[in-house]
Structure 1
Amino acid sequence: MTASDRSADPSALYASHVAELQRRAETALERGGFDHLVVPSGTLHYQVFDDRDYPYAVNPQFKAWVPLVRNPGSWLVFTPGAKPKLVYLQPFDYWHVVPQAPSGWWVEHFEVIVIREPQQALAHLPADAARCAILGEPQSALGAFAPNNPPPVIDYLEYHRAFKTPYEVAMMREATRKGVRAHRAAEAAFRAGASEFDIHLAYCAAARQDANELPYGNIVALNQNGAVLHYMELDREAPAQSRSFLIDAGASHVGYACDITRTYAADRDGEFQALIDAVDLAQRRMCDQVRAGFDYKQLHLDAHLALAGILKDFGVLKTSPEAAVATGVSGVFFPHGIGHGIGLQVHEVAGFAASDRGGRIDKPAGHPYLRLTRVLEPGMAVTIEPGLYFVDLLLQGLKQGEHADSVDWNRIEQWRPYGGIRIEDDVVCTEAAPVNLTREEFAAVD
């Protein structure tokens, strides 16, 4: 990927993106025996016994076509041989800000019909709902147009969504730029002695996104809180001493996500920083394994061996790395998967799909939390996120089990106050060397 590719005007990439979506949709409709693809953007959901709505989340099948993420009540219609149609809800409303009329570099690719009330969409949807593959959640039903989510159509579209178009990679890069800028602000807040809550606010301010706009809830963990894989408590008060900082936080851009994790030591010359550096070096090597034809399951298994080697080097393991992997001891310190697909969703769909006709590629035995088992191919975008943690619950199980003597418990006690380490990049598989979106954008900022 060249510098010009990285800074490409989205309008120059979008036409081919929409053409590819139409090609995929035609095949998916043929597989399912349908004439039309109908995709609602989604609707607002209200809390039971209350009049407050939950934060709106656009249907991923909808935002794949159009860069719209705040437009409930709209519809996308595709019929092979015809221009895609966007039925766009722009309601009469003086309680809220009304969406602007569609405009910009993408509009010319659609027949745009503006409606003022949700029911008006019916006049612009295909005549026979039974001939439509309708992709969405049940609450999006409108008259006869209730989502049916036919498996042959879903299987095909979601399988091929793993392969990002150049437009999608460009959008993911823009999300990454926002995320990297925010990560640098979060690190600065940590080094200034801020609380988890204040670090989170610094992150949102730098990303220019509030919590509902971010692709997932920020994980902002100081000290031992880094041992909680999905820690989201956001303590309001700073600890008396900040030893370590783990942040797993992303950003969004026109519906696409980035997913970045970094870990920092308060003492840049201390042993915990050396442990971070060792994991970082191993993670870079893992990212380089994102090559066409490589089995992602093997990448996960290789990561266990590499991380066990680090534990051995730092005096935690008393046994060999190979033995730690074989006995499951490595899983005590690395208890999650090496990563997942990413794109329109942080955990992109069809991670276990055997083919575009369905089927499942099982996870390796003893590794229940791996989210992707496919062989890597050009166009796939994945995360690589190895970690080493000192989790009390898992350590207690190890201590009570038959392999308790395979580790140095005094050494573990030294590391427990630091919680853990995770480093995560978003990487695109190509015909040649992988493109590490995260590292490239950190280098650009730095």
Structure 2
Amino acid sequence: MVPVDWPILYRQHLATVQARADAALARGGFDSLVVPSGTLHYQAFDDRDYPYAVNPQFKAWLPLTRNPGSWLAYTPGARPKLVYLQPRDYWHVVPQAPAGYWTTNFDIVLIRTPEEALQHLPADAARCAILGEAQSAVGAFTPNNPQAVVDYLEFHRAFKTPYEIAMMRQATRRGVRGHRAAERAFRAGASEFGIHLAYCQAAGQDAGELPYGNIVALNEHGAVLHYTDLDRLPPKPLRSFLIDAGGSHGGYACDITRTYSADRGDEFQALVDAVDSAQQGLCAQVRAGFDYRQLHLDAHLALAAILKDFGVIKLSPEAALETGVSAAFFPHGIGHGIGLQVHDVAGFAASDSGGTIAKPEGHPYLRLTRVLEPGMVVTIEPGIYFIDMLLDELRQGAHADAVDWTRVDAFRPYGGIRIEDDVVCTEADPVNLTREGFAEA
């Protein structure tokens, strides 16, 4: 593992973030950028709050994720300022004063109440682009989220700095530890809930710290794309295991999916291995200048070829794609951008001035339609599923005879397969953060 010089990487990252802010403010005609970290949301008719989620526009600047009531203020030509809420409180743990490699790059002011922030924010709120949710408002500083500023910043967030890639590597290490522990728990016969607990223990993060709710699916539950129910007892017999789970580090996410058969030598494991091989081929297509929409269509062709090889469908891959038969077995997109958010923003952005790049016709669930460029990080997650609702529709449609339903019935109790890696587009060969993480472990 190569040592990381965090202070240098962070200074370079901050310079990039400041340059983007300069351009965005000029685009919108504002003098300053003001970003609240966000505040707590309370449940209706209750005094309990929902888990706090930091404003992504805030954590793009600095690695603080558990500090509601704080503010970032930046005026081009000046040092950025962090207005840091450290309340007087005996009900909860009060956050420590900011510390670490990043703090020397900011003017930091400690406040005790949210209202004190007004003393340290720019004089004229009307000349500020204020990015956040309405309930973060304090005094005249109500988020206005000017579209020109948001479009510019979100479009360029697709291009990760070396610091951000390093942060995602750290998140991946957590995720890999969790995945290895989860497979061990599965092999030992644990329930979905037990596997989830083993994952959290190994990753060192609880459900509120993970970037999204763990998908831990045994047997036919693997056919539910976002299965999160977590049965407390293991099924009998135990056939298969699909886990889609990530980890967080300093506000950055990883997103990893793996699928296993209980019997390493059965036909379902052979199908998993075939999808894994196809997935690695698709990861290799993450190249500068390649249209992500085409990668999605290529995934359909690769998966349809596997379905034909295993006798599930009788059509050619091209015919399966054209008729929509492949979509019955692979109903989601090939992936999405990832970084500060699991489904990172501006996946459809035509430019930093706005506009939308359309999805391929007949593929409504694709989350990214941009041409790949160096610095982008995307997930590649092909899958084959045996979903009753979609199979029933296919069986009642015009292409029912394109499927060997006996073969479908043989695989249906296993649910489905998904393999997912996080891949960096570079000027040359792609960098697979996920495979790198598993190899390191």
Same fold by TM-score greater than 0.5: yes
Q: Report the alpha carbon displacement of residue 318 of structure 1 after superposing the two structures with TM.
A: 1.2
- Structure 1 residue 258 corresponds to structure 2 residue 254: yes
Query: Any idea what SS the aligned residue of 2:198 has?
Result: helix
Of 164, 182, 188, 1:192 maps to 188
Q: Aligned with 1:65: secondary structure?
A: coil
> Separation in 1 of the partners of 2:343 and 2:282?
19
1:85 counterpart = 2:81: yes
The amino acid of 2:421's aligned partner reads D
Gaps of 5+ in 2: none
1:319 shift after superposition? 1.6
Structural mapping, 1:109-258, within 5 Å: 109-258=105-254
Partner SS, residue 260 of structure 2: strand
The Cα shift of 1:43 comes to 0.2
Q: Which residue of 1 aligns with 2:345?
A: 349
Aligned equivalents of 2:326, 2:159: Cα separation in 1 = 32
Matched residue type, 2:117 = A
One-letter identity of the residue aligned with 2:231: D
Provide the C-alpha distance between the structure 2 equivalents of 1:23 and 1:184, rounded to a whole number of angstroms.
40
* In 2: Cα distance, 1:320 partner to 1:64 partner: 46
Q: Which residues in structure 2 correspond to 1:293-372 (within 5 Å)?
A: 293-372=289-368
Q: Which consecutive aligned stretches of 4+ in structure 1 deviate over 2 angstroms post-superposition?
A: none
**Using the alignment, how far apart are the partners of 1:308 and 1:362 within structure 2?**
24
Bigger shift: 169-178 or 235-244? 235-244
Q: Tell me the equivalent position of 2:390.
A: 394
- 2: distance between equivalents of 1:289 and 1:8? 28
What percentage of residue pairs aligned between the two structures are identical?
A: 76
Shift of 1:241: 1.4
> What's the offset of the Cα at 1:321?
1.3
Distance 1:43 1:407 in 2: 52
Query: What is the SS of the residue equivalent to 2:73?
Result: strand
Cα distance in 1 for partners of 2:265, 2:7 equals 47
C-alpha separation between the residues in 2 aligned to 1:319 and 1:380? Answer: 35
Q: Displacement of 1:9 after TM fit?
A: 2.5
Out of 59, 66, 77, the position equivalent to 1:63 is 59
CA shift, 1:284, in A, is: 0.1
CA drift at 1:11: 1.6
Partner residue in 2 for 1:94 = 90
Deviation at 1:17, TM superposition (A): 0.3
Match of 2:45 among 45, 49, 71: 49
TM-score (norm 1): 0.98
Name the CA distance, whole Å, in 1 between partners of 2:222 and 2:44: 34
The residue type equivalent to 1:135 in the other structure is L
Letter in 2 for 1:158: E
Q: Which amino acid aligns with 2:221?
A: N
Q: Which one-letter code corresponds to 1:398 in the other structure?
A: L
Could you tell me how far apart the structure 2 residues matched to 1:407 and 1:185 are? 37
SS of 1:248 mapped into structure 2: strand
1:10 aligns with 2:2: no
In structure 2, what is the Cα distance between the partners aligned to 1:94 and 1:16? 39
* Partners of 1:186 and 1:346 in 2: CA distance: 21
Aligned residues between the structures: 441
Provide the residue aligned with 1:379 in structure 2.
375
**Cα displacement string for residues 376-401 of structure 1 (whole angstroms, at most 9, x for unaligned residues):** 00000000000000000000000000
2:271 corresponds to 1:275: yes
1:182, 1:381 → 2: CA distance? 21
Q: Secondary structure at the match of 1:221?
A: strand
User: Structure 1 regions of 5+ residues with no counterpart?
Assistant: none
Q: Are 1:407 and 2:403 matched, yes or no?
A: yes
